[in-house]
């Protein structure tokens, strides 16, 4: 169906598609409803990984106690997309493929090493979620491809994730800065693995590798966190727009990076043998 | 919740029954402006200018006209040229704002309109109208508009209120001045003088219901209009002006209205809908989408305000100097006049100079927004007053008590205040536990006060007694806040029959006498007074009929608790039911009209207390506690008085923290949606505690003072003062967004 | 363009209507089915006044394409009354003066019902966040939150 027309496109919840059509930014001739395919609205797990359909409504994630306990960061991020009304319809696939640098679910998905299964007439391919969005509003998908589902490996014990965002109100705003963090602790309580990703501060979501490296072997003490914050501010490449200024985004990226890492740490400490 | 004056034992006034229109609103039955469908109805769509300032070179409607389903296309040439007809300047502005003639003056200015058989066809036709423009340079702020050599919106605009009048046109429509005493002397007597400059951005009333109108024109020149508005008589008058017809040819019915706050006291779609209906011969529905509401309907003014005030160490204000420039948008008429009258009206200051300028710029024509002009003025003065109090180490309530206007004070704008309740609202705050509640880390507390004169104006009411002894109360004031309930409560009190026996109705322009708009906090006062007068005439009539029945003089008959009673009890009482049942035998149906221009308007005061928490690393401000004390005179309907208080506060919070119009360098609005025009949502707020103060207005039968507006006057200053208390930074530019707070915090720590 | 025939269950009744594929469910409900309770406040999912329950989930009907309703179960504000009896939320909104102009009320009632169906004993904070997708400009939300609290209490006691 996607091949039937050059302006054909898929949709799940259409929560971005409809405003874009109304605003004249898009005019597809054919819209394909992915929710009609069962696999794309599923949410399952086995002992290796969780599989989330690309069109699964985010409310299914936030209301799934197992998923939310294991990946509170992704769950909370999904729960921050819009309102309850939006979450009945919004999906990880839509949030990702809309290609907004400010998408709430992407930093959390990224730090958890999420993979996207892409299907098309030429076959399937599995890519890390960090490779999907190539620029604002742009993805690596061909016009006749779509994401089927996401895979997230089961979280090892002593691992925790978190997502924080800065918005001027308490809800209903697009993130001015978003920070996703994940840490894994060793038996001695120091960090053995760390991932930190920032949204809304660059054309695509960015990893802060300098911060990740700095955290290894530490307990996220104050000095390390200062390095984390500075690295986060440094990696930003934001714009001035109606939601935030360059200076503000750089400064607050550092603040949220620290706070997200601390929450991830706390969660990692609690997940000791509880899966 | 009365704090002053005992409730004099009213049976209905002051109670909290269910409002008469409530059932329809909770079941989805209530008909708002966009809910009406008529047989054969077409959908309209407006074509708007994408440019902030341009000459219209040509409009080609031929493609649109030939499209499938398109039944009418209109442009400015389909409307009379009022300027050529020697009309009044303000009427010309209304007509040119309704649809552009040779120039467009703002992005969103109407250029043409179409009507077609479906929404989709109307949208396609609107896109097919070809307009060519010569883009002109534009001005967006008072600074740009007042600059030397600024491009002019109106070539003939000579500033009024300046003597001698300027010999060159400019973008300054008028100047207002209030002065008293001797400024130099006044500042000389001060121990502390503080001078600050403030800027505010345009903010929209933000009603959730976009403008909507349905027009059904006959080919004899008459038309029926159904629209949501704050005053269907005013809609009729303005629409007739723009169409160039007599008012009597138009019948306007008020739909339920989904919020107005002043923004629906003017016309937008009505004349377009009528003309489209005339040209197509079918009813036409025209509804704005949210984008159009933002781009093309009046927000209130952005402003620049300079305030200099002096205070003695003992806490007396000695002098005040205020300079204000208000954006009017494309045509003259910002609320700078009301701002000038209210800015220091709450205080008794012996020496002052208030100067204000009404400045046009290439933005939508401003419309009234809840106490128009006063909130910006109060933001400035109440912020400076807070700083003055701090400078002499005086409590913010005490400094206001020391200078508060009271009965007998000569208001800064002229008249002597009759009995008013400002002091009582200050004391209500001071005595409330919130005033001393403990504050946590990063939290701060701010106080601010506000004044609004409220309005009287014209209202009419008719009261009919039905055959079964119930009564219908007919008025012409659209109900935007629950006024139907207040009318029913007052009528029940007057007639002495149960509230549930009263049916209040808002009638159309052919069925009730003239009513000025629902605005200015005037309906409970003025329309209420008309209802009370009509009820008293009905009671006169009922007494006369009882007298006739008993064959006695009318002075032998009293009306008590819904019955006619003989003064010496020599006759069994006659209930309203009984008199109504036999009204045919005693003179015919029982009803009475009253029309009035309300006198005895009571001014309104509000004092508010705001606690905030500011995140020092992100600048995000959260309101954690809020208390508002407002003098309602007499709260006819306490539920809905509280509703007005709370609604005004929350609009003020949005105005203070996040709401603003953002324009790009071409004068196009960048945030015309609720996503980026950030109004408060439920999770942003705490409960808004209300303290209803009652200092009855001696000139009203029930002591009423208008309550709809003054609540929005203090919040921005209360927030600014609270942020100062929490962080030490003083913000003088609205909105006080996290970005600005963090910038100020960064500067402070440098 | 040929219109599509949609069959759905609305407020417990089987209903069918014709629609263009690109028409929103909101406009289909209002223009084709004649249920004008759901309102358009923004058309972009930012105000919640078009909220309905779509297969038991609270949704902005302005963001749903009408054809998606085929085979679905829809609840609008008109369906809250049960044989003339008001839902406790409707009654509590009336008694608590939780509406002024009333344009946002249908959306709030639906969103509040969705909340209470999921969480019968919500805290004030939970109520406020669940209703964050519904804009009200008249009330400042105070009386709305109190009405939801009262309705929740009454529903728990039943």
| Count of other CB atoms within 10 angstroms of residue C60 | 36
| pLDDT at B6 (0 to 100) | 54
Instruction: Flag whether residue C6 sits within 8 Å of chain A, measured between CB atoms.
Output: no
Kindly state whether residues B548 and B414 are assigned to the same domain.
Answer: no
**Measured between alpha carbons, how far is A52 from A43 in angstroms, rounded to an integer?**
5
Instruction: Flag whether residue C62 sits within 8 Å of chain A, measured between CB atoms.
Output: yes
pTM for the model stands at 0.96
| pLDDT at B1 (0 to 100) | 39
Query: Which residues, at least 6 apart from A183, have a Cβ–Cβ distance to it below 8 Å?
Result: A159, A160, A191, A193, A194, A195, A215, A220, A261, A264, A265, A268
Q: What's the average model confidence in pLDDT over C143-149?
A: 98
Note the CATH architecture for domain C4-79. Roll (3.10)
Q: What's the average model confidence in pLDDT over A206-230?
A: 97
**Measured between alpha carbons, how far is B81 from B587 in angstroms, rounded to an integer?**
52
A residues 26..85 contacting C (CB < 8 A): 31, 33, 35, 57, 59, 82-85
Q: Which chain A residues have a beta carbon less than 8 Å from that of B739?
A: 244-245, 248
Q: Which of C24, C43, C130 sits opposite A84 (nearest CB)?
A: C130
Q: Which chain A residues have a beta carbon less than 8 Å from that of B618?
A: 166, 252, 255
CATH code assigned to A159-270? 3.30.390.50
Q: Which chain A residues have a beta carbon less than 8 Å from that of C68?
A: 33, 35
Q: Is residue B139 part of a domain?
A: no
pLDDT at B299 over 50: yes
- Least confident stretch, A23-32, A94-103, B273-282, B369-378: A23-32
Last residue within a domain, chosen from B544, B566, B596: B596
pLDDT band at A29 (very low <50, low <70, confident <90, very high): confident
Last residue within a domain, chosen from B566, B596, B626: B596
Instruction: Flag whether residue C63 sits within 8 Å of chain A, measured between CB atoms.
Output: yes
pLDDT band at B7 (very low <50, low <70, confident <90, very high): low
CATH code assigned to A37-153? 3.30.465.10
Which residue of A lies nearest to C23 if distances are taken between CA atoms?
A18
Instruction: Flag whether residue C99 sits within 8 Å of chain B, measured between CB atoms.
Output: yes
Cβ contact (<8 Å) for A255 and B618? yes
Instruction: Flag whether residue C75 sits within 8 Å of chain A, measured between CB atoms.
Output: no
Options 1.10.150.120, 1.20.1250.20, 1.20.120.340, 1.20.1070.10; CATH for C88-157 is 1.10.150.120
- Best A168, A179, A232, A247 member to test B by mutation, with max B CBs in 10 Å, is A168
Show which subunits contact B, needing at least 3 CB pairs below 8 angstroms.
A, C
- Provide, rounded to the nearest whole percent, the portion of chain A with pLDDT above 90: 85
Show which subunits contact A, needing at least 3 CB pairs below 8 angstroms.
B, C
Q: Which of A174, A244, A245 sits opposite B675 (nearest CB)?
A: A174
Kindly state whether residues B536 and B578 are assigned to the same domain.
Answer: yes
Kindly state whether residues B413 and B536 are assigned to the same domain.
Answer: no
- Best C6, C47, C60, C117 member to test A by mutation, with max A CBs in 10 Å, is C60
pLDDT band at B3 (very low <50, low <70, confident <90, very high): very low
Q: What's the average model confidence in pLDDT over A133-149?
A: 94
Hey, what are B557's tokens? 């008959």
**Measured between alpha carbons, how far is C40 from B193 in angstroms, rounded to an integer?**
51
Last residue within a domain, chosen from B542, B572, B596: B596
For A71-117, what is each residue's pLDDT tens digit? Answer: 999 999 999 999 999 999 999 999 999 999 999 999 999 999 999 99
Residue A112 C-alpha, separation from nearest chain C C-alpha, in angstroms: 27
Token look-up 């603003």 returns B660
- Provide, rounded to the nearest whole percent, the portion of chain B with pLDDT above 90: 90
Secondary structure (DSSP) of B512-573: S-----S-TT-IIIIIHHHHHHHHHHHHHHHHHHHHHHHTS-GGGEEEETTEEEETTS-S--
Q: Which chain C residues have a beta carbon less than 8 Å from that of A8?
A: none
- Best C94, C140, C144, C146 member to test B by mutation, with max B CBs in 10 Å, is C140
pLDDT band at B518 (very low <50, low <70, confident <90, very high): confident
Cβ contact (<8 Å) for A86 and C133? yes
What's the mean pLDDT when you consider all of chain A?
A: 94
Residue B273 φ then ψ, to 5°: -65, -40
| pLDDT at C2 (0 to 100) | 80
Cβ contact (<8 Å) for C63 and A14? yes
| pLDDT at A9 (0 to 100) | 86
Comparing CA positions, the residue from B716, B714, B709 lying closest to residue B262 is B709
Cβ contact (<8 Å) for A172 and B681? yes
Q: Which chain A residues have a beta carbon less than 8 Å from that of B675?
A: 172-174
Kindly state whether residues B573 and B619 are assigned to the same domain.
Answer: no
Cβ contact (<8 Å) for A13 and C58? no
Kindly state whether residues B618 and B671 are assigned to the same domain.
Answer: yes
Q: What's the average model confidence in pLDDT over B32-54?
A: 97
For B301-321, what is each residue's pLDDT tens digit? Answer: 999 999 999 999 999 999 999
| pLDDT at B4 (0 to 100) | 42
Q: Which chain B residues have a beta carbon less than 8 Å from that of A80?
A: none
User: Helix, strand, or coil here: B224?
Assistant: strand
Per DSSP, B461 falls in state E
Decide: residue B64, CB within 10 A, 0-12 exposed, 13-18 middle, 19+ buried: buried
Cβ contact (<8 Å) for B640 and C100? yes
- Best C138, C144, C146, C151 member to test B by mutation, with max B CBs in 10 Å, is C138
CA B165 distance to own-chain centroid = 32
Q: What's the average model confidence in pLDDT over B745-750?
A: 94
Q: What's the average model confidence in pLDDT over C20-45?
A: 96
Q: What's the average model confidence in pLDDT over B251-271?
A: 96
| pLDDT at B598 (0 to 100) | 86
pLDDT at B5 over 90: no
| Count of other CB atoms within 10 angstroms of residue B220 | 7
| Total domains in the fold of chain B | 2
| pLDDT at A7 (0 to 100) | 78
Q: Is residue B274 part of a domain?
A: no
Kindly state whether residues B514 and B612 are assigned to the same domain.
Answer: no
Output the CA torsion sign for B127, B129, B133, B138.
Answer: negative
Instruction: Flag whether residue A171 sits within 8 Å of chain B, measured between CB atoms.
Output: yes
Kindly state whether residues B552 and B655 are assigned to the same domain.
Answer: no
Cβ contact (<8 Å) for C101 and B209? yes
CATH number of domain containing B419: 3.30.365.10
pLDDT at B328 over 60: yes
Q: Which chain C residues have a beta carbon less than 8 Å from that of B482?
A: 97, 100
Which residue of B lies nearest to C102 if distances are taken between CA atoms?
B25
- Regarding an ipTM greater than 0.95, the answer is yes
pLDDT at A251 over 90: yes
Kindly state whether residues B469 and B565 are assigned to the same domain.
Answer: yes
Range of the domain at B537: 22-28+457-596
**Measured between alpha carbons, how far is B292 from B5 in angstroms, rounded to an integer?**
48
Kindly state whether residues B686 and B735 are assigned to the same domain.
Answer: yes
pLDDT at A275 over 80: no
């Amino acid at each position: 169906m996607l091949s039937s027309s050059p302006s054909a496109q898929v949709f799940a919840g259409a929560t971005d598609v409809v405003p874009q059509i109304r605003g004249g930014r898009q005019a597809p001739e054919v819209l394909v409803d992915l929710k009609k395919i069962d696999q794309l609205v599923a949410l399952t797990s086995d002992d290796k990984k969780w599989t989330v359909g690309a069109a699964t409504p985010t409310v299914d994630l936030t209301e799934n106690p197992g998923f939310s306990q294991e990946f509170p960061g992704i769950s909370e991020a999904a729960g921050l997309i819009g309102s309850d009304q939006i979450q009945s319809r919004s999906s990880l696939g839509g949030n990702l493929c809309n290609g907004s640098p400010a998408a709430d679910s992407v930093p959390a998905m990224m730090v958890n090493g999420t993979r996207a299964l892409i299907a098309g007439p030429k076959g399937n391919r599995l890519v890390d979620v960090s490779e999907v969005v190539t620029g604002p509003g742009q993805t690596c998908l061909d016009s006749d491809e779509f994401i089927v589902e996401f895979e997230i490996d089961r979280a090892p014990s002593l691992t925790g994730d978190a997502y924080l965002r800065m918005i001027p109100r308490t809800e209903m705003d697009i993130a001015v800065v978003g920070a996703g963090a994940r840490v894994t602790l060793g038996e001695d309580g120091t960090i053995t693995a760390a991932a930190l990703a920032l949204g809304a501060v660059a054309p695509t979501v960015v990893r802060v590798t300098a911060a990740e490296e700095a955290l290894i072997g530490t307990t996220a003490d104050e000095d390390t966190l200062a390095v984390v914050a500075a690295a986060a501010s440094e990696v930003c490449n934001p714009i001035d727009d109606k939601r935030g200024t360059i200076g503000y985004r750089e400064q607050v990226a550092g603040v949220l990076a620290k706070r997200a890492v601390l929450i991830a740490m706390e969660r990692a400490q609690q997940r000791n043998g509880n899966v | 919740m009365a704090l002053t004056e005992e409730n004099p034992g009213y049976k209905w006034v002051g109670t909290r029954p269910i409002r008469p229109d409530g059932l329809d609103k909770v079941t989805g039955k209530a008909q708002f402006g966009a809910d009406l469908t008529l047989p054969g109805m077409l959908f309209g769509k407006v074509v708007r200018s994408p440019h902030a300032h341009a000459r219209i070179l040509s409009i080609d409607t031929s493609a649109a006209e030939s499209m499938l389903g398109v039944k009418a296309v209109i442009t400015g040439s389909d409307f009379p040229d009022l300027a050529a007809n020697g009309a009044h300047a303000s009427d010309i502005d209304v007509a040119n704002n309704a649809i552009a003639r040779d120039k467009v003056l703002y992005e969103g200015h109407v250029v043409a309109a179409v009507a077609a058989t479906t929404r989709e066809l109307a949208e396609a036709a609107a896109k097919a109208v070809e307009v060519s423009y010569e883009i002109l340079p534009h001005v967006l702020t008072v600074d740009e508009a007042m600059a030397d050599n600024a491009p002019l919106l109106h070539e003939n605009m000579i500033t009024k209120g300046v003597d001698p009048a300027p010999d060159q046109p400019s973008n300054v429509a008028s100047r207002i001045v209030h002065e008293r005493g001797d400024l130099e002397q006044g500042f000389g007597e001060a121990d502390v003088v503080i001078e600050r400059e403030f800027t505010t951005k345009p903010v929209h009333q933000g009603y959730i219901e976009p403008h909507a109108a349905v027009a059904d024109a006959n080919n004899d020149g008459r038309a029926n209009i159904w629209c949501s508005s704050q005053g269907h008589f005013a809609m009729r008058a303005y629409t007739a002006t723009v169409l160039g017809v007599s008012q009597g040819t138009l019948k306007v019915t008020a739909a339920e209205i989904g919020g107005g706050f002043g923004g629906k006291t003017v016309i937008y779609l009505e004349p377009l809908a009528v003309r489209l209906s005339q040209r197509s011969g079918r009813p036409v529905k025209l509804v704005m989408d949210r984008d159009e509401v933002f781009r093309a309907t009046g927000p209130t003014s952005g402003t620049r305000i300079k305030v200099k005030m002096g205070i003695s160490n003992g806490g007396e204000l000695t002098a005040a100097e205020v300079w204000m420039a208000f954006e009017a948008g494309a045509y003259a008429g910002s609320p700078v006049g009301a701002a000038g009258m209210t800015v220091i009206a709450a205080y008794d200051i012996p020496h002052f100079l208030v100067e204000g300028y009404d400045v046009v710029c290439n933005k939508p024509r401003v419309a009234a927004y809840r106490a128009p002009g006063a909130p910006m003025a109060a933001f400035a003065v109440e912020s400076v007053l807070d700083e003055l109090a701090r400078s002499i180490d005086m409590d913010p309530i005490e400094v206001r008590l020391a200078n508060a206007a009271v009965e007998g004070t000569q208001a800064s704008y002229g008249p002597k205040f009759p009995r008013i309740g400002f002091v009582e609202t200050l004391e209500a705050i001071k005595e409330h536990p919130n005033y001393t509640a403990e504050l946590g880390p990063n939290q701060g507390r701010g106080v601010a006060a506000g004044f609004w004169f409220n309005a009287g104006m014209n209202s009419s009411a008719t009261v009919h007694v039905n055959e079964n002894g119930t009564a219908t109360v007919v008025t012409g004031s659209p109900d935007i806040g629950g006024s139907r309930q207040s009318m029913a409560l007052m009528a029940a009190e007057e007639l002495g029959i149960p509230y549930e026996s009263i049916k209040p109705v808002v009638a159309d322009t052919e069925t009730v006498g003239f009513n000025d708009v629902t605005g200015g906090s005037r309906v409970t006062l003025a329309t209420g007074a008309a209802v009370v007068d009509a009820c008293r005439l009905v009671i006169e009539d009922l007494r006369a009929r009882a007298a006739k029945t008993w064959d006695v003089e009318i002075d032998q008959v009293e009306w008590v608790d819904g019955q006619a009673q003989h003064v010496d009890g020599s006759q069994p009482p006659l209930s309203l039911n009984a008199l109504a049942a036999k009204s045919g035998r005693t003179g015919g149906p029982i009803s009475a009209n009253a029309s009035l221009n309300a006198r005895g308007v009571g001014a309104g005061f509000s004092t508010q207390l705001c606690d905030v928490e500011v995140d020092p690393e992100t600048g995000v401000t959260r309101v954690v506690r809020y208390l508002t004390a407002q003098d309602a005179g007499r709260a006819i309907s306490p539920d809905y008085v509280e509703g007005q208080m709370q609604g005004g506060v929350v609009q003020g919070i949005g105005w203070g923290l996040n709401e603003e119009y953002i324009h790009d360098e071409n004068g196009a609005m960048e945030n015309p949606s609720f996503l980026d025009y950030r109004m408060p949502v439920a999770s942003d707020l705490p409960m808004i505690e209300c303290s209803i103060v009652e200092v009855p207005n001696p000139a009203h039968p029930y002591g009423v003072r208008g309550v709809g507006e003054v609540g929005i006057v203090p919040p921005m200053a209360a927030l600014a003062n609270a942020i100062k208390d929490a962080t030490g930074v003083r913000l003088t530019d609205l909105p006080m967004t996290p970005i600005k707070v963090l910038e100020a915090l960064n500067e402070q720590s440098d | 363009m040929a219109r599509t025939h949609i069959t759905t269950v609305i407020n417990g009744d089987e209903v069918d209507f014709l629609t263009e594929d690109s028409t929103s469910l909101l406009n289909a409900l209002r223009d084709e089915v004649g249920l004008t309770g759901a309102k358009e406040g923004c058309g972009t999912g930012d105000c919640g006044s078009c909220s309905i329950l779509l297969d038991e989930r609270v949704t902005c009907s302005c963001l749903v394409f009408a054809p998606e309703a085929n085979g679905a179960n829809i609840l609008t504000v008109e369906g809250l009354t049960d044989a003339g009896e008001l839902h406790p939320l409707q009654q509590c909104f009336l008694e608590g003066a939780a509406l002024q102009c009333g344009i946002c009320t249908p959306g709030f009632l639906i969103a509040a019902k969705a909340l209470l169906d999921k969480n019968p004993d919500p805290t004030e904070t939970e109520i406020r966040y669940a209703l964050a997708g519904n804009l009200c400009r008249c009330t400042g939300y105070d009386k709305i939150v109190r009405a939801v609290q009262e309705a929740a209490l009454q529903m728990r006691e039943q």
